[in-house]
Amino acid sequence: MVDVANTSGAEKSSASKSGGEAAALARIAGMPEPYRAMGERLHDIIMRNAPVLRPTTWYGMPAYEKGGKVVCFFRGGEKFKERYMTLGFNQEANLDEGHLWPIAFALTELTAAGEERIAALVKKAVS
């Protein structure tokens, strides 16, 4: 275990990043199927397409932040007894399109087309 109080700024950042990712991955691992498999895939898509985002947890959900602000998150349907997984974006996400744009998506499965759309949204969110 890293003693964050007695480390340099770079070491603190590294320790915080690894701790945040460990917590996010633990949340994903604790999800029942099919949400666990979808969560693992979402984590991979987000990390590959927006490497500037840092994994963390937010209100008990896997989340991804930039500059200390959560940009996107997801949760399995079991959290609120929903029939779908939710992928959401916060106001820090650069997704504005005029006066109306979506900030949350329901996922019942991840298809190749869905993965491509998510990758594009995540890239745009951090642009």
The answer to whether 15 and 4 are in contact (CB under 8 A) is yes
Q: Quick one: average pLDDT of 64-78?
A: 96
Residue-wise pLDDT for 20-43, tens only, equals 999 999 999 999 999 999 999 999
The answer to whether 27 and 100 are in contact (CB under 8 A) is no
* Per-domain residue ranges of the chain: 4-125
pTM: 0.84
Neighbouring CB atoms inside 10 A of 58's CB total: 17
Q: How far apart are CA 16 and CA 2, in angstroms?
A: 9
**Domain spanning 4-125, CATH class:** alpha beta
Measured CA to CA in angstroms, residue 66 lies from 5, 39, 114 at distances of 22, 20, 24
* Residue 103 confidence (pLDDT) above 80: yes
Given this model, what pLDDT does residue 1 score? 35
